[in-house]
Amino acid sequence: MTTSLPKTPNIDCVRSAAVRIQSHVVRTPLLESPHLNAIVGGRLLVKAEPLQRTGSFKFRGAFNTLLQLSEAERAKGVLAYSSGNHAQGVAAAAEILGIKATILMPQDAPKVKVENTMSYGATVVHFNRYTESREEIGKQLAFESGAALVKPYDDVRVIAGQGTMGLEIAEQLHELEVSPDAVLAPCGGGGLISGLSLAIKAEFPDAQIYSAEPEHYDDTAQSLAAQRIIAVEPKHKTICDSIMTPEPGELTFSIIRNLLSGGLVVSEEETRNAMCHAFNRLKLVVEPGGCVALAALLSHKIDVKGKTVVAVCSGGNVDAALYAEILAG
Amino acid sequence: MTTSLPKTPNIDCVRSAAVRIQSHVVRTPLLESPHLNAIVGGRLLVKAEPLQRTGSFKFRGAFNTLLQLSEAERAKGVLAYSSGNHAQGVAAAAEILGIKATILMPQDAPKVKVENTMSYGATVVHFNRYTESREEIGKQLAFESGAALVKPYDDVRVIAGQGTMGLEIAEQLHELEVSPDAVLAPCGGGGLISGLSLAIKAEFPDAQIYSAEPEHYDDTAQSLAAQRIIAVEPKHKTICDSIMTPEPGELTFSIIRNLLSGGLVVSEEETRNAMCHAFNRLKLVVEPGGCVALAALLSHKIDVKGKTVVAVCSGGNVDAALYAEILAG
């Protein structure tokens, strides 16, 4: 079935994915707060994807991918490597479809992500994020079991699935009868922002789209500026565990290099501050990596005075202890 | 305009309110988590009203009331007493309509509620919850200014406004093609549960409806059991600040005594536990008083094995320090 996929995903792939996964995804709301509007000086709409099944957008791409596996592929199971959100997305999608899932997770992944992944019936294998290659271990495991590897971002089906969030945002903006001047989303390997930009640009060609990343992991911002893939050294610790990716994917970058207006970078303090605003004003639990786009707007990385902007909050899987510490300031 | 109101609200009042306030309320989502389903052994749908404008359902009733004031009444301003959520609802509604609002709040109201109320442009007057009568101070202030008192629950317009949440739940259940076996909501003076029960019973006559209250403030449970209004002594401290009401309202009780199947009571520990579940599984910030219905289900106060139940989480205005302490266990 996968032979009919184009090499690069297009808007038709995203629209097909939306139909395919519709019955199982949550149509997450666009939230708005007069206080946050006042901070940015414009109209700020927040896509509340922590309310998605598994607590992040990753379920969209994982489910879209698994639904396109053949019966023979499904029988051999699936394999994924992930710091946690893709893990949960794949595990939950596999559970729904009755597929065996094995997930490679770093030893220092947030406890809540490991526990949740196991709760969907997946087998979790740990590796050391700083000394071992998850790609190598993944290949070895896939070779032994014959399981299909579900890549975290550089895959047509995954990108199309994540892009369904962009179609939802567009639908919701049409319902509100507004056009966005800008749309911002957190960015790790680029699966979300590439799919999202396909959808947003199809519906609102004039909207500017920006990726948001944490300091030290601004590979996408650097790559967009240089118009070629630039890698960063993933040696720094960050609270943004879900998006500490060293470089954009080849496929994702081939899409976003043409569609994005730039990459924004936020400090850890700006991210913590945005998480507190999401708590106080939106009543939404957002994990650090899921909050960097909101952080970019609340700390004025671009001027949106008098404009309408959308910030994607992409996930909410944060350990209670860290969250409590951040709220306590 | 208020002369055409019936003495007791009926389903038509609720339907009219829904049309009246539609443009300004958030249609909050019904959330679901496989983990919470597993705990109750049935299908648990959570109405996520912390995502409502002002962070609680109170905006619905306040806005519905203020929209029905005459021009002459609007010119004199409005007055309300509230521990915080009704305060914010009235203040936000008044700001939208350009009406001056004065709010009486207890000195020990959560800081976030006081700050938010003031941020909507309202004047806040403090009183001592344990030694002064808010009703007396309110009457005096109303007498001096001629401002219209917006009661927190015992008012046809307020009850009808809160009931719009029930119509939304019914719509959402129809979309999911399920009928609820039971619907639970937190209960203070009864404004929400009375309006909600009018709406739910109109759409699903067989659904059982339960109020939920914290220990020491189980006046509604006692009153329902006795079939007459019973007051409790409001001498205990509780984290459930928003629903520490000593007795049900006359109007609200006249509705719920016939429509409810009973009142459930939860401990503080059960409430804290439910708040952690809402954090971990729903990514939703719920305040203590807003979480007692969910707490009642998660601690098995009624048996819902194999059934479909709705729990209303009614608000999310909790101070960060308390929330952090609760998450830390």
Look up the CATH number of the domain holding residue A130: 3.40.50.1100
The DSSP secondary-structure symbol of B147 reads: P
Is A284 in the B-facing interface, judged by CB distances under 8 Å? yes
Among A99, A130, A149, residue at a domain's last position: A149
Q: How far apart are CA B100 and CA B121, in angstroms?
A: 8
Which of A277, A283, A319 to substitute to test the interface with B, most B CBs within 10 Å? A283
Question: Chain B, 71-110: which have a CB under 8 Å from a chain A CB?
Answer: 92
Is A327 in the B-facing interface, judged by CB distances under 8 Å? yes
Q: Do B320 and A51 touch (CB under 8 A)?
A: no
Question: Which one, of A139, A136, A111, A135, lies nearest residue A124 by Cα?
Answer: A111
pLDDT at A108: 87
Residues A33 and A68 in one domain: no
Residues B164 and B136 in one domain: no
Residues A200 and A317 in one domain: yes
Judged by DSSP in three states, B40 sits in helix
pLDDT at A1: 44
Residues A21 and A69 in one domain: no
What B132-139 contacts at long range (C-beta under 8 Å, 24+ apart), as own/partner pairs, is: B134/B81, B134/B104, B134/B106, B135/B81, B137/B81, B137/B104, B138/B79, B138/B80, B138/B81, B138/B104
| Strand-strand pairing, B123-127 and B208-214 | unpaired
Question: CB neighbours of A184 closer than 8 A, spacing ≥ 6?
Answer: A209, A210, A211, A212, A264, A293, A294, A296, A297, A309, A310, A311, A312
| Strand-strand pairing, B43-48 and A101-106 | unpaired
The DSSP secondary-structure symbol of B299 reads: T
pLDDT tens digits for B288-310? 999 999 999 999 999 999 999 99
pLDDT at B2: 46
Least Cα separation, residue A117 to chain B (angstroms) = 12
Residues B15-26, mean pLDDT to the nearest whole number = 96
Task: Give, in order, the Cα–Cα distances in Å from B313 to each of A119, A174, B185, B285.
Answer: 25, 29, 7, 9
Task: Give, in order, the Cα–Cα distances in Å from B242 to each of A208, A316, B109, B246, B328.
Answer: 43, 26, 9, 12, 22
Is B40 in the A-facing interface, judged by CB distances under 8 Å? no
The answer, yes or no, to whether residue B149 has pLDDT greater than 60, is yes
Least Cα separation, residue A311 to chain B (angstroms) = 16
> In chain B, what residues touch A49 (CB-CB under 8 Å)?
none
Residues B169 and B136 in one domain: no
Residues A178 and A298 in one domain: yes
Burial class (CB in 10 A: 0-12, 13-18, 19+), A192: buried
Is B48 in the A-facing interface, judged by CB distances under 8 Å? yes
The position carrying tokens 């043409």 is A258
Strands of the sheet containing A78-81, edge to edge, are A123-127, A101-106, A78-81, A148-149
**Contact yes or no for B312/B47 (Cβ under 8 A):** yes
Percentage of chain B exceeding pLDDT 70: 99
pLDDT at B109: 85
- Give the Cβ contact number of residue A203 at 10 Å: 17
**Contact yes or no for B247/B221 (Cβ under 8 A):** no
Residues B75 and B183 in one domain: no
Residues B205 and B309 in one domain: yes
* Residue B154 confidence class, pLDDT cut points 50, 70, 90: very high
Question: CB neighbours of A116 closer than 8 A, spacing ≥ 6?
Answer: A54, A55, A84, A88, A91, A317
Among A149, A184, A199, residue at a domain's last position: A149
Question: CB neighbours of A50 closer than 8 A, spacing ≥ 6?
Answer: A56, A284, A285, A286, A287, A290, A313, A314, A315, A316, A317, B283
Q: Which pLDDT tens digits describe chain A residue by residue (329 residues)?
A: 445 788 999 999 999 999 999 999 999 999 999 899 999 999 999 999 999 999 999 999 999 999 999 999 999 999 998 878 999 999 999 999 999 999 999 888 888 888 889 999 999 999 887 888 888 888 888 888 899 999 999 999 999 999 999 999 999 999 999 999 999 999 999 999 999 999 999 999 999 999 999 999 999 999 999 999 999 998 889 999 889 889 999 999 999 999 999 999 999 999 999 999 999 999 999 999 999 999 999 999 999 999 999 999 999 999 999 999 999 98
Among B123, B149, B175, residue at a domain's last position: B149
Is A29 in the B-facing interface, judged by CB distances under 8 Å? yes
Domains of chain A: total: 2
Find the Cα–Cα–Cα–Cα dihedral A225, A229, A230, A234, rounded to 10°. Answer: 120
Which of A59, A120, A280 to substitute to test the interface with B, most B CBs within 10 Å? A280
> In chain A, what residues touch B34 (CB-CB under 8 Å)?
92, 120
Residues B50 and B197 in one domain: yes
Question: Structural domain of residue B181, as residue ranges?
Answer: 8-56+160-327
Task: Establish if B117 belongs to a structural domain.
Answer: yes
Residues B32-57, mean pLDDT to the nearest whole number = 96
Please tell me the pTM assigned to this model. 0.94
Residues B5-20, mean pLDDT to the nearest whole number = 95
Residues B49 and B70 in one domain: no
Q: CA torsion sign, B26 to B32 to B33 to B39? A: positive
The answer, yes or no, to whether residue B242 has pLDDT greater than 90, is no
Q: How far apart are CA B149 and CA B102, in angstroms?
A: 10
- Give the Cβ contact number of residue B126 at 10 Å: 15
Percentage of chain B exceeding pLDDT 90: 84
Burial class (CB in 10 A: 0-12, 13-18, 19+), A267: middle
Residue from the list A51, A280, A282 with its beta carbon closest to the beta carbon of B29: A51
Residues B64 and B131 in one domain: yes
Q: How far apart are CA B277 and CA B280, in angstroms?
A: 5
pLDDT at A304: 97
pLDDT at A2: 46
